[in-house]
Amino acid sequence: MPSWRRFSLCFSAMQLLVGLSAGADLNTAQRAYKQKDYATALMESTPLAEQGNANAQLLLGRMFLMGEGVLKDPDRAIKWLRASANQGNAEAQFFIGSYYLLPRRDIAEGLKWLRLSAEQGNQDAQLLLGRAYADGSPEVPRDPVQGEMWLRLAAKDNLPFYESQLAAAERGMNPEEIDKGKALATAWKPKPGLKPDDKAPSSDKSR
């Protein structure tokens, strides 16, 4: 066998082994996290996160945000969550959106990330986005049709709490607004892997 072919085969085998090893490390980290073995989760996920693995970055971001096995460090948490969210990780986008929206740190920034997550189908993000539009605020003009759409998507095949949020919002809407929101929810399709620099089709057809 020519030497270049042997080299090519060896290089391919090495790449495969590296990929399998990385996957195993991530699986170990995620399993350790679920078992609350945070020291192992931190050790296994850190090198992967530094190599750009979005799921490992999400895991590290959650640990630093919640103070799980490490001291709470919002700055480090957002650094890792943003790195993951920029790659299209819907859960990381939800965490960032919640971080900015719920304590009203930056409403616009929070809504931006929540919409990216909601457009991918994250029902927690859909709930927060729906509530923001249904309730309205000085920063977010009330839009009951958008509120209906996102709350209906959040409630679909979900827990009773989500259904109760939809029902509560609908008590403040008229039948036309509800029907329009239902139609948007029916036509909505998830957009997996949506990133901040992607041009997402607008779901706002209520006007």
**Predicted structure pTM score:** 0.85
Q: Per residue in 14-34, pLDDT tens? A: 443 344 444 558 999 999 999
| Residue, of 137 and 2, whose pLDDT is higher | 137
Q: Is 115 left (phi over 0), alpha (psi -120 to 50) or beta?
A: alpha
Are the C-beta atoms of 169 and 130 separated by less than 8 Å?
yes
- Give the pLDDT of residue 95: 98
CA distance 8 to 161: 56
10 has pLDDT over 60? no
pLDDT tens profile 109-159: 999 999 999 999 999 999 999 999 999 999 999 999 999 999 999 999 999
Q: Which domains does the chain have, with CATH numbers?
A: 22-87 (1.25.40), 111-188 (no CATH)
* Distance separating alpha carbons of residues 148 and 177, to the nearest angstrom: 8
- Round to whole Å and give the CA distance between 200 and 87: 15
pLDDT digits (tens, 9 = 90+) for 35-82: 999 999 999 999 999 999 999 999 999 999 999 999 999 999 999 999
Task: Tell me the mean pLDDT in the region 86-91.
Answer: 98
Q: Which helix (H) or strand (E) holds 80?
A: helix 74-85
What would you report as the CA-atom Rg of the chain, rounded to the nearest whole angstrom?
21
Which tokens sit at 107? Answer: 């409403």
158: three-class secondary structure by DSSP: coil
Q: From CA 129, how far away is CA 114, in angstroms rounded?
A: 7
Q: Under the phi-then-psi rule, with left for phi > 0, alpha for psi from -120 to 50, and beta for the rest, what region is 69? A: left
pLDDT computed for residue 198 by the predictor: 85
d(CA 24, CA 1): 33
Are 38 and 63 contacting, i.e. CB atoms less than 8 angstroms apart? yes
First-to-last C-alpha distance (Å) of the chain: 68
Give Cα 100 distance to the centre of its chain: 14
- Determine the Cα–Cα distance for residues 122 and 18; give it in Å rounded to an integer: 31
pLDDT at 19: 45
Specify the higher pLDDT residue, 2 or 150.
150
Q: What angle do CA 146, 58, 56 make, to 5 degrees?
A: 150
pLDDT for 161: 97
